[in-house]
Structure 1
Amino acid sequence: METATESQILRVNIGHLLKSSKVKSDSKGAKLQLFVGALAETQTAEAILTLPSKTTLNVDLSSSHLDISTTRGSKITPITNGKIFTLRWSGTRYMDGAPTVISLTHGASSGKYRYGQIQFRVIKDKSLGNRLEIINFVRLQDEYLWGIGEVPSSWPLAALQAQAIASRTYAVAKSLTIRSACSCHLYGSISDQSFVGFSKESEAIYGQFWKSAVDSTAGQIITYEGLPISAYFTSSTGGVTETSEHAWGTALPYTLSVSDTASADVKLNPRFATWSRQISQSVIAAAFLLPDVISLQVLSLNPSGTVDQIQGTSSAGVTATLTGETFRSRSKLPSAWFSIVIG
């Protein structure tokens, strides 16, 4: 365990591969400002748009650029277009004024954010073409960690502190590289770790418990040979943890397989101590990249009991083999710890 600097600004992706998004604040006295381009942390500029409370900012992808408009009541007002915009709001380190919470929606998803600044930009995806990416720039030590939603805030303090240390360690390890696919250090989803913004600390009663766990472990990270580890964590294991080598193919000396009996206890873990899923023929075929699959065979198991290799055979006799983890991911299974029942 070591103490790390936590003042760095993280780029957290809070909207991936989108076509549109809406932003609004209902906070009393709120003021939102939109700027052209990607504003750096200490950079100032002249806003192209200032929005009061209860006015919606619309960001829509149009070919290779973003169309910006506003909605107030039933009136929609076109503003401008461009490839990159930065949004700042009152009550943050960028702007004085009333403490403001903004609501960000896209499709059926929504989130509440209190800190940092938000960037909207067009990024070209290899498969889908141009898409809208939304990035929240937040400080690691508080603005980011206060918004991690990986465990219930009602858990015992020691459990919350352990999660805070793991999440901090994971973020520090990821903070060294900006990914071109999202213009971010981290995804705010389970692709990295769940970042739910202001919704976490504003939970009735228990939100302050999580903040306390973060603050009481300030700076603490887990290291191996002086570097932050990739601090993987999971809610359930099937009774034994998996090594990184058998999960993802890369051996890491600090990811040991250890007993986790609580995960196999139905009373303690009713959702995943045992589970079953029905998988359609089309999903299985797509997983193996075959036109169809008429038989499945588990070829080998890892020492922990998870599936190591699984083979699918098509009606034409063509076979394909996947790792258990790849099959799990493509078939949307909870775990690579499974057996096959045909029926």
Structure 2
Amino acid sequence: MMRMFKALLLVFSISFAATSTATATAPLQFSFTGSGYGHGVGMSQIGAKARALSGESATAILNYYYKNVQIAPIVDTHTIRVNIGRALKSISFVSATPDSAVQIFSGDIANAQDVPPIMTLAAKKKITFNVDGAFATGEGLRAKAFTIRWSGPSSVITFSQPGSVVKYRYGQIQVKVVKSAMEVTNTLALRDEYLWGISEVPSSWPAAALEAQVIASRSYAMSKLGKINSACDCQVYSHIADQNFVGFSKESEPRFGQFWKAAVSRTIIDTSTSLAILSNGKPIQAYFFSSSGGATQTTLDAWGQATSYTQSVVDPAGLDPKNNPRFATWSASADQSLVATAFLLADIVTLEIISRNTAGAVTYIKGTASDGSTKLLRGDTFRSRVKIPSPYFNLAG
């Protein structure tokens, strides 16, 4: 009789648990609290600023955040191809600089100087390209790719795409149709022209912090040189997927743009070498981010792939409201649909932080659906997908 009772009790318990899970209500949103902004790997920009204010040099800052590296000159005579427009259907170009001219060439002519243009536009004359199947067309022109160059005293070209208007001064621009959409790239000298357009930190920051950012950005870009990515017709993107490149807008900032440009110049050694972060003689993929939750994390911590040059170090500036007024502490929420999509589940009933690393960042978080199914995500993957500031978070409410 006792065995039968236990069996019935077990069946009832299983049935009750299944019913409870199936009828659990998925909340409309989830709330979080935390500290820091960004993935937490490599150099903390807020931390670098604080260290610069305390008198540390750019070299000291970089050696603090990166492990077993050398800040040393390396040959830097490369050009870099930057995607400045992704999967576009309509774009336009114009140079409003007096006495400027815009030349259009058929095809991707690289650095060839003996190819005649198929069209020359005077100042203030705009050209618009649209996609027509596998071709870009505009002003009677039709090709799978175009190269655009501009000339004249201090000439600047304006590139317009839906939702964005950006000015460029250096190099040349390529327009190429890839999978029935236009990929737009800017090819220019990496050592200075590209770096003059990197907008990762305010130009008003201390000189050593600016120099540390320049060297980190140069190192990251150099690590990306090589084969062109056919999907974007580029080596790097101009946004957060790589680093934020805004063309002429950075150096032309009122009052402070000159300080950023000067910081770039101070990291150039001579006509062929510049400072970079090296590991075993090669530039590292120098990750950086805005601010941590008190300590940085390694690539192994964040993404599961080890690198010899990332390490976890104490980073108190991210928790100081004076240094980090927006993200020393933060609160955020994410809608049910966004969280469910992050886990690729129909819905999410509960979230559970499974583990943290020594830096305090979430390593794994578990989502449970109303049908009882569960999935794990890395903390930084979850952070990115649900659009909360950092992986240094707690569940709230």
Using the alignment, how far apart are the partners of 1:159 and 1:238 within structure 2?
A: 20
Which of residues 301, 308, 313 is equivalent to 2:368? 313
What is the one-letter code of the residue matched to 1:330? R
Counterpart CA distance in 2 for 1:184 and 1:317 is: 44
Match of 2:92 in 1: 22
Q: Are 1:65 and 2:135 matched, yes or no? A: yes
d(CA) in 2 for partners of 1:139, 1:173: 15
Question: Secondary structure of the equivalent of 2:348?
Answer: coil
1:216 alignment partner in structure 2: 266
The 10-residue stretch of structure 1 (133-142 or 40-49) with the greater mean CA deviation from structure 2? 40-49
The structure, 1 or 2, with the larger RCO (C-alpha pairs under 8 Å, 6+ apart) is 2
Cα distance in 2 for residues equivalent to 1:236 and 1:17: 31
For residues 18-97 of structure 1, what are the structure 2 equivalents within 5 Å? 18-69=88-139, 79-90=140-151, 97=152
Question: What is the CA–CA distance in structure 2 between the aligned matches of 1:164 and 1:141, rounded to whole Å?
Answer: 10
Q: In 1, distance between residues paired with 2:290 and 2:384?
A: 17
Equivalence map 1:80-159=2 (5 Å): 80-90=141-151, 97-124=152-179, 130-159=180-209
SS at match of 1:172: helix
SS of 1:201's equivalent in the other structure is coil
Which runs of structure 2 are paired with 1:160-171 in the superposition (5 Å)?
Answer: 160-171=210-221
Q: Is the 8 A contact 1:6 1:139 kept in 2?
A: no
Q: 2-side partners of 1:262 and 1:41: how far apart?
A: 45
Cα deviation for residue 224 of structure 1 reads 0.9
Q: Give, in whole Å, the separation in 2 of the partners of 1:148 and 1:307.
A: 30
Q: Distance in 1 between matches of 2:129 and 2:229?
A: 22
Residues 1:174 and 2:224 aligned together:
yes
Is 1:195 matched with 2:195? no
Q: Report how far residue 180 of structure 1 moved.
A: 1.9
In structure 1, what is the Cα distance between the partners aligned to 2:157 and 2:360?
46
1:66 maps to amino acid: A
| Structure 2 match to 1:299 | 354
Cα offsets for 1:55-89 (capped at 9, x unmatched)? 111121233221213xxxxxxxxx12221111011
- The answer to whether the 8 Å contact 1:173/1:230 transfers is yes
Identity of aligned residues (%): 48
Task: Supply the distance in 2 between the matched residues of 1:123 and 1:336 (Cα, whole angstroms).
Answer: 35
C-alpha distance in structure 1 between counterparts of 2:213 and 2:357, whole Å: 27
Please name the residue that 1:74 is paired with: none
User: 1:338 is matched with which residue?
Assistant: 393
What are the within-5 Å matches in structure 2 for residues 253-268 of structure 1? 253-268=308-323
- Secondary structure at the aligned position of 2:334 is classed as coil
Query: Which structure is larger by alpha-carbon Rg, 1 or 2?
Result: 2
Instruction: Tell me how far 1:260 sits from its aligned partner.
Output: 0.9
C-alpha distance in 2 between matches for 1:177 and 1:237: 33
Q: Could you tell me how far apart the structure 1 residues matched to 2:100 and 2:154 are? A: 7
User: 1:136 is matched by which residue type in structure 2?
Assistant: N
Unaligned runs of 5+ residues in structure 1 are 70-78, 91-96, 125-129
Q: Return the offset for 1:205.
A: 2.3
Q: Amino acid of the residue matched to residue 58 of structure 1?
A: T
Q: What is the distance in 2 between the residues matched to 1:216 and 1:20?
A: 39
The count of corresponding residues between Structure 1 and Structure 2 is 322
Query: Under a length normalisation based on structure 2, what TM-score does the superposition of the two structures give?
Result: 0.79
The residue type equivalent to 1:298 in the other structure is I
Distance 1:340 1:172 in 2: 39
Q: Give the drift of 1:148.
A: 0.9
Q: Deviation at 1:176?
A: 2.7
**Contact 1:2/1:223 (CA < 8 Å) preserved in 2?**
yes
Following superposition, the deviation at residue 240 of structure 1 comes to 0.7
Range with greater deviation from structure 2 (155-164 or 175-184): 175-184
C-alpha root-mean-square deviation of aligned residues, in Å?
1.3
Question: Aligned with 1:158: secondary structure?
Answer: helix
Provide the rounded CA distance (Å) in 2 between the counterparts of 1:329 and 1:9: 31
What SS does structure 1 have at the residue aligned with 2:80?
strand
Q: Distance in 1 between matches of 2:210 and 2:367?
A: 42
Q: Which has the higher helix share?
A: 2
Native 8 Å contact 1:174 1:186 kept in 2: yes
Does the residue aligned with 1:339 lie in a helix, a strand or coil?
strand
| SS of residue paired to 1:284 | helix
The answer to whether the 8 Å contact 2:361/2:392 transfers is: yes
